[in-house]
Amino acid sequence: MNKRKAKKKETPILTGYQIFHNCIREHEALEGKTPAEACGIKVEGNNKWLTLIQNACHPTKVYKEINPTKS
């Protein structure tokens, strides 16, 4: 068994970095947008971390179905 092989674990730090990378960090190749903004997801406010945490605490509201199924 190779002792140097890193074990893949889900940690809050890795999850936090994924959120930072996808929702907060601006990307040069996306013309200064975050990957979330490039997909049409806006995270507004001066403190984007706080906005994400507050939004995660509230249920998602659906105002309109985009592709309703036909019965």
Give me the pLDDT at residue 56, please.
80
Per-residue pLDDT at 43: 85
In a domain, 45, yes or no: yes
For the entire predicted model, the pTM comes to: 0.55
Each residue's pLDDT, cut to its tens digit, for the chain (71 residues) gives 556 665 666 678 888 888 888 888 999 999 999 898 898 888 888 998 888 888 888 777 767 767 767 65
Determine the Cα–Cα distance for residues 31 and 26; give it in Å rounded to an integer.
8
**Does the residue 48 lie in any domain?**
yes
Residue 32, domain extent: 12-56
**3-class DSSP assignment, residue 32:** coil
Paired strand residues for 27 = 33
Q: Is 43 inside any structural domain? A: yes
